[in-house]
């Protein structure tokens, strides 16, 4: 799946899933631009990729600020004359009971993970993809955007919004040959997840047990799905939301009804 000479912007790629996507794209021949709020983190990530022989740079970016999104898009356009790929990955995660959710937390989560996806996408589309009549956008949503999880009202609402936003943009911009898709990861073993585990906020064993495939995802497994959607192999796929969740979402109803034995019964039959 070659991305040879493609110019790719990946937001929030200073660490975690975004960094793994950037490395994967670079391994497949793309020049990657890491758009990162924490500039030092972005610069270190780009340096790490260059040290491995890949083509990478970092630009400071706050996706919640349309001016920042425009500035990054225009800088990349000025340097390369096109932007082929955009991955909207920047995110954050704050747990609150809805009745206790502080206004700032609601606004921040929706701002980064819904408004930010729109502002960055709009900037790249206006600056590059619509004029060049070509482009691929992959938005990182979440299985959280497909159902009710207590304590995650802002996060899940923002991610659900991203899934529908992707469908709208896919239909609006098909005329410009711009494909827009989502990848919805299940629980993924990132630094953020490890720190939640250390704090005792997340019990890994429970997530493993809840997943039909018996474990959480590795960042590389998410990046593989993003690579597929970004590549020509997905040339007729747009408006899709690809779950990469080890079977978590389809298992939801069985679990809620309290039939964990169903999965072992199915295994015995097969
Ligand atoms: P992470 O916290 O490790 O990385 C997110 C990055 O986004 C950070 O480097 C952060 O600085 C950056 N960022 C935050 N706000 C920004 C802004 N305003 N502008 C630009 N960059 C900003 O998170 P992760 O676990 O790698 O998650 C990446 C994406 O995957 C997120 O969208 C997240 O919601 C989604 N996701 C993660 C999981 C999981 O289990 N880790 C599961 C489903 C979906």
Of 71, 57, 72, whose CA–CA distance to 13 is shortest? 57
Provide the pLDDT for residue 200.
83
- Residue 111 CA: which ligand 1 atom is closest? 18
Domain 7-238: give its CATH code: 3.40.50.720
Domain coordinates in residue numbering, the chain? 7-238
Provide the pLDDT for residue 270.
42
- CB of 91 closer than 6 angstroms to any ligand 1 atom: yes
**Please, what are the averages of pLDDT over each run of 10 residues along the chain (270 residues)?**
96 98 98 98 98 98 98 98 98 95 98 99 98 98 94 97 98 98 97 84 88 96 98 98 95 62 46
Residue 110 has a CB neighbour count (10 Å cut-off) of: 17
Cα–ligand 1 centroid distance for 140 (angstroms) = 9
Candidate list 54, 96, 155, 207, residue with the active-site label: 155
Using CA atoms, how far apart are residues 35 and 124, in angstroms rounded to an integer?
A: 12
- CB of 88 closer than 6 angstroms to any ligand 1 atom: no
Total-model pTM: 0.95
* HSE-CB for 178 with a 13 A CA cutoff: 28
Task: Give, using CA atoms, the residue closest to atom 10 of ligand 1.
Answer: 12
Provide the pLDDT for residue 266.
40
Provide the pLDDT for residue 269.
45
Using CA atoms, how far apart are residues 127 and 54, in angstroms rounded to an integer?
A: 26
Using CA atoms, how far apart are residues 175 and 159, in angstroms rounded to an integer?
A: 25
Cα–ligand 1 centroid distance for 80 (angstroms) = 26
φ/ψ region of 94 (left if φ > 0, alpha if ψ in -120 to 50, else beta) reads beta
Provide the b/e sequence for 128-139 (b: ≥16 CB within 10 Å).
Answer: bbbebeebbbbb
Q: Tell me if 30 sits within 8 A of 45, measured CB to CB.
A: no
Q: Is 155 an active-site residue? A: yes
């Amino acid at each position: 799946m070659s991305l040879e000479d493609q110019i790719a912007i990946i937001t929030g790629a200073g660490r975690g899933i975004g960094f793994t996507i950037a490395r994967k794209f670079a391994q497949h021949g793309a020049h990657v631009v890491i758009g990162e709020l924490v500039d030092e983190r972005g610069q270190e990530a780009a340096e790490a990729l260059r040290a491995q022989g890949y083509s990478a740079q970092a630009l400071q970016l706050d996706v919640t600020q349309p001016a920042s999104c425009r500035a990054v898009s225009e800088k990349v356009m000025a340097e390369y004359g096109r932007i082929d790929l955009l991955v909207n990955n920047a995110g954050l995660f704050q747990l609150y009971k809805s009745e206790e959710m502080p206004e700032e937390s609601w606004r921040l989560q929706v701002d980064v993970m819904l408004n930010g996806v729109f502002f960055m996408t709009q900037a790249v589309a206006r600056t590059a993809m619509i004029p060049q009549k070509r482009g691929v956008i992959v938005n990182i949503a979440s299985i959280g955007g497909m159902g009710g999880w207590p304590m995650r009202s802002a996060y899940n609402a923002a991610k659900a919004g991203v899934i529908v936003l992707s469908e709208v943009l896919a239909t609006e911009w098909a005329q410009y040959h711009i494909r827009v898709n989502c990848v919805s990861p299940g629980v993924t073993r990132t630094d953020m997840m490890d720190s939640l585990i250390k704090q005792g906020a997340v019990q890994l064993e429970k997530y493993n047990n809840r997943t039909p495939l018996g474990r959480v995802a590795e960042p590389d497994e998410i990046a593989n799905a993003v690579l597929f959607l970004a590549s020509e192999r997905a040339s007729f796929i747009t408006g899709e939301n690809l779950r990469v969740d080890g079977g978590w979402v389809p298992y939801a109803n069985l679990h809620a009804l309290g039939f964990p034995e169903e999965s072992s019964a199915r295994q015995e039959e097969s």
